[in-house]
Structure 1
Amino acid sequence: MSMNGKYALGILLTSLLLGAVMLYVFPLIHLISGGTGSATAIFTYSRAVLWIVLFTVFLYSFMIEKQPFLLWKDKAYSSGFYLKKIFSLYLICAVGGAFLNLLIKFATQENTSGKLLQLSHVFRNNYALIIFTCLTAGAVEELLMRGYLQPRIEKIYDNRYAGIIVSALLFGILHSAYGTVGQVVVPCFIGIVFAVFYKIYSNIKILMICHFLYDFVSLMMMNFMDIKHLSVF
């Protein structure tokens, strides 16, 4: 098999595994536990499964592709650069995401995601779960979507825009399990912002930190305020 063929198979494997987690992990864990597991435990196990997906894809890159997991070597920057870029990326995502959510709510009049309403009770005052969830999102999603998928998509199509657009679309589609337009469009937007940054600066650590902060602030706001009041954000 050619290297592009191995990359394509890896992309398919990653997409299928992530899609399966988003669609089937909750009912599967519920079935295995015999319906006795708490919502908090089931959600915690589902995040652990994402780490297993990351490990599986890492093994694929090491054993089948025989390539580094990160095809683009991380570039080193100063502490000031890290702080400036993390702040600017967070601001772009937070303001842009809120604006898009506002437009979608006015255009579609869609209700707040039922799944998010359920999760708001799971996260209530559970700070360990909040941190674990944000760490999982920041590390696993960035390493897979930007670190693994984006460079390989670019190499297959020999087009940098393909890597940015396709990885961002996959990122948005994987959030469709939340059941609202906003929960697809906003992640697509964030995926584009992150993918463009990664293409320009080739530093996955900044994206992981920014992703963690974005989710952490969102979940902490959800913890202290009624999610219906935050739905526009």
Structure 2
Amino acid sequence: MIKTLKSNRSVIIGVIFILALLFIQQLTFSPFLKSIGASVNATTLFISRLLIWFCLLLIWFYSIKFEKQKLLIWEEKNYNIPFYIISVILMFIIIIIGVTCIQKAISLLGLKSNSASLVRIVNIFKKNYWLMIFTALTAGIVEELIFRAYIQPRLELLFKSPAVAIIISSFLFGLLHFQYGTIINVLGPIFIGAVFAIHYWKFRNIKVLIFSHFLWDFILLSISLKR
């Protein structure tokens, strides 16, 4: 059941607030390192993940103090274990097919698909396995709580359209990955975000999305470490 927000203004301010926090963090972190003569290493990468957690903390504070409600405004539904297993498997199959098609299309168009930034990060993870796990956990927990649990339901209330909320939240989720520097690193997350958003709209369960997101990132990063 969806609760009614106090005003559309609180929705707009909240969404703009969280997006500003995230994009400022993404835009300023790398240039700031260059300005002080530093480079991305295990320490700076760890700090960047902590900053993302801090963004989530601020959004939680905003929802409690200014919106006067919980971060999750959709009531969380619980299911049996087979539901979670089937959900993860089906989402993985859909994502693999979708991302593969996107990669093929990008390859046919002759566009860049290899991310130098991602290669540098993977090289850091080769010597810091626990940092890789923390990064995947951060992505799974924080990004799902922000883009699905916080932004999507509020956009649906604002536009009175589940489809619009799914499209906008997925598009914003993809843009968050622009710092990796390639079109696949934006289009891929947009598609993944849409799959997760549709599942959240239909089943109202954020836990399965958090686990699926973490597992997806963990598997991809683990595969990258072996290359």
TM-score (norm 1): 0.91
Deviations 1:190-230 (A, max 9, x none): 111110000000000000000001000000001011xxxxx
Structure 2's unaligned 5+ residue stretches are none
Q: 1:180 to 1:38 in 2, by over 3 A?
A: closer
Once the two structures are TM-superposed, the CA of residue 120 in structure 1 deviates from its matched residue by: 1.9
Deviations 1:50-95 (A, max 9, x none): 0000000000000000011101011000011111101111221123
SS state of the match for residue 69, structure 1? coil
State the match for 2:12 in structure 1: 8
Query: What is the 5 A alignment of 1:60-209?
Result: 60-209=62-211
Separation in 2 of the partners of 1:185 and 1:36?
30
Separation in 1 of the partners of 2:194 and 2:110?
23
Alpha carbons 1:30, 1:42 under 8 Å: kept: no
TM-score (norm 2): 0.93
State the match for 2:27 in structure 1: 23
Q: 1:193 to 1:39 in 2, by over 3 A?
A: same
> What amino acid is the match of 2:207?
K
- The one of 36, 40, 43 equivalent to 1:41 is 43
Alpha carbons 2:152, 2:166 under 8 Å: kept: yes
Q: Aligned-residue CA RMSD in angstroms?
A: 1.7
SS state of the match for residue 67, structure 1? coil
> What amino acid is the match of 1:22?
Q
Alpha carbons 1:142, 1:208 under 8 Å: kept: yes
SS state of the match for residue 108, structure 1? coil
Alpha carbons 1:94, 1:214 under 8 Å: kept: no
Once the two structures are TM-superposed, the CA of residue 37 in structure 1 deviates from its matched residue by: 7.1
Separation in 2 of the partners of 1:213 and 1:206?
10
State the match for 1:229 in structure 2: none
Name segments (4+ residues, structure 1) moved above 3 Å.
26-31, 34-38
> What amino acid is the match of 2:105?
L
Q: Which deviates further from its counterpart, 172-181 or 57-66?
A: 172-181
Separation in 2 of the partners of 1:118 and 1:37?
10
> What amino acid is the match of 1:201?
F
Separation in 2 of the partners of 1:192 and 1:36?
36
State the match for 1:54 in structure 2: 56
Separation in 2 of the partners of 1:28 and 1:64?
31
Structure 1's unaligned 5+ residue stretches are 226-233
Q: 1:41 to 1:142 in 2, by over 3 A?
A: same
Q: Which deviates further from its counterpart, 16-25 or 108-117?
A: 108-117
State the match for 2:226 in structure 1: 224
